[in-house]
Chains A and B, each alone.
Chain A
Amino acid sequence: MEEFSIKTKQKDNISILDIEGYLDAHTSVELEKCFEKIISENKFKIIVNFEKLSYISSAGLGVFMAFIETARSNAGDIKLCAMSDKIYNIFDMLGFPILFEIYKEENAAIEKFN
């Protein structure tokens, strides 16, 4: 069975989350916990790399909505990158690029923070 996993790395003061597999109402709980942990450590500059994510439902989108305000009000942000067309189309269809910065490559998101 295809799983969901998160690998986190730190680059200077930026937390980078590599998410893999499928993000639905079941697995989004894991991502939510990961965000909670990062935020509790007062890390508010966050990049999520979607390169290995194969599926997202609205439950997954809700996780990003849940933390964006906190990140921004603490001089940080949640920037998204490396989405497949399939995933980007879901974000785009609902208008998420209005609120979220979405980059083709991780480096572009890192540069934007710097």
Chain B
Amino acid sequence: MDKTNKILFKSSTKNLYLLRKFIEDKAKTFGFDESSVNQIILSVDEACTNIIKHAHMYNEKEIIEVELDTNENQFIIKLNYKGKAFDPNNISNPDMKEYFNKFKIGGLGVPIMKKFMNKIEFLHLNPDKNSLTLIKNL
């Protein structure tokens, strides 16, 4: 690994803007084009929004640790958090025809992450630690 960066965020949707700015700066510096930077920002936003809602249930006392690693051609974002475990890889993409026919709401964060990132890894460590890793190739 060439570089490691770590930052802690209070688990609140209020902080999504700051989180996006942090990711944007690092992804640009790493050398991604604008389109890829936007894809990474959105994927991390979706991942953190899910953690804030489902793992922390909007409890702002909880913390999300964002850890960035890079190697020669990969940008690796690791989100460490406590709370309910959730592996996006276990979720199937919704049938969008049915989604629109039934006017469904929500559930699009995971498909976005899967579409825009090259790899998603989830690790649950006992007793109460989760690690969600999003990887984008340069």
Partner-B contacts on A (CB < 8 A): 1-2, 22, 24-26, 55, 57-59, 61-62, 65-66, 68-69, 86, 90, 93-96, 98-99
- List residues of chain A with CB within 8 A of the CB of B106: 58, 62
> Which label, helix, strand, loop or mixed, suits the secondary structure of the B interface?
helix
Contact of A66 with B49 in the complex, beta carbons under 8 Å? no
- List residues of chain A with CB within 8 A of the CB of B14: 26
Question: What would 7 more interface pairs be, CB under 8 Å, given A59-B49, A94-B96?
Answer: A2-B17, A57-B42, A57-B109, A58-B49, A58-B109, A58-B112, A95-B96
A55 to B16: give the CA distance in the assembly, Å: 12
- Among B76-84, B97-105, B125-133, the stretch in contact with A: B97-105
- List residues of chain B with CB within 8 A of the CB of A2: 17
24 contacts between A and B (CB under 8 A): A1-B17, A22-B17, A22-B20, A24-B20, A24-B45, A25-B52, A26-B12, A55-B20, A57-B16, A57-B45, A57-B109, A58-B49, A58-B108, A58-B109, A58-B112, A65-B103, A65-B104, A65-B105, A68-B103, A94-B111, A94-B112, A95-B96, A98-B97, A98-B100
